[in-house]
Homo-oligomer: A and B are copies of this chain.
Amino acid sequence: MELWFTEKHTENVNFSIKVDRHVYSGQSEFQRIDLFDSLEFGRFLTLDGYMMLTEKDEFIYHEMIVHVPMSVLPNVKKILVIGGGDGGAVRELVRYPEIERIDLVEIDRQVVEACRKYLPQTAGKLDDPRVTIHYADGLKFVRSKQDEYDLIIVDSTDPFGPGEGLFTKEFYGNCYKALTDCGAMVNQHESPFYPVDAVAMQRAHKRIIDSFPISRVYQAHIPTYPSGHWLFGFASKKYHPVEDFNAAGWKAHGMKTKYYNDKIHIGAFALPNYVKDLLEEME
């Protein structure tokens, strides 16, 4: 049998994965949710047909969205994760004993339920006693918060469909307000390569720099995302992601990681000229 999942990375580029089994398919109030088993990537999750994560390379995304801010910000106790219903970001966060509370705001309960059942690799730590799951719209949830979180992680889908509101100026402004004086927001920031992604990336950058005094973009190699070149944003009130990087403090945790390390931390902020140019156009 030949069964192939295909994602259009652009109108003119297809990325296809040979599927062994279509494990789950559901239609929630918000989106279509699918899980597949594949030889190359293990189990993988798609929302509305877009790749969210695979068992094989999700460690890259989740390590980079969590350990970069955690090794810069001192004294992180209370965290807000917006999106991230798969639990991967939470899994990395609960490795830090100093974290006291994690609010996970996921709009789609069905994503969490499907991941709990079919993706224990990422969802397995959602039951940590420090984690509270709120099934709510992140945009609305954050509106009422003030001076409350040391770190906000925006682990959103792409800027269309249910994730659209998480790329607006209003949302970033509310995140700023919801953060403590030493706080920072990290977000998945799309890709610089294909023009359709680059435009979304530039738009997000513009809105974030309008809301935060410090805003830097960093990158990772994520093979199953379009072009494999993916960006994250680090937006902060006080701490600079490179100048205030506490390598010794992070190493003292003795945490084993598969992608992240202290040299990668610095290297990830070294962007190619063409990416710098795209960002600087917005500044």
Point out residues on A near B: beta carbons under 8 Å: 4, 10-18, 38-40, 57, 60, 193-194, 219, 221, 223, 227-229, 257-261, 263-264, 266-274, 276
User: What residue in chain B is nearest A227 (Cβ atoms)?
Assistant: B223
A14 & B10 in contact (Cβ 8 Å cutoff): no
Query: Which of A57, A263, A271 neighbours the largest number of chain B CB atoms within 10 Å of its CB?
Result: A263
Q: Is the interface of A mostly helix, strand, loop or mixed?
A: mixed
User: In the assembled complex, how far is the CB of residue A93 from the closest CB belonging to chain B, in whole angstroms?
Assistant: 19
- The CA of A17 and the CA of B17, in the complex, are separated in Å by 15
B60 & A272 in contact (Cβ 8 Å cutoff): yes
Query: Which of A13, A15, A39, A264 neighbours the largest number of chain B CB atoms within 10 Å of its CB?
Result: A13
Contact of A260 among B16, B40, B268, B273 (CB under 8 A): B273
Residues of B within 8 A of A271 (CB): 263-264
Residues of B within 8 A of A269 (CB): 263, 267
User: What residue in chain B is nearest A272 (Cβ atoms)?
Assistant: B259
Given A223-B227, A273-B261, decide whether A16 and B18 contact each other with a Cβ distance below 8 A: no
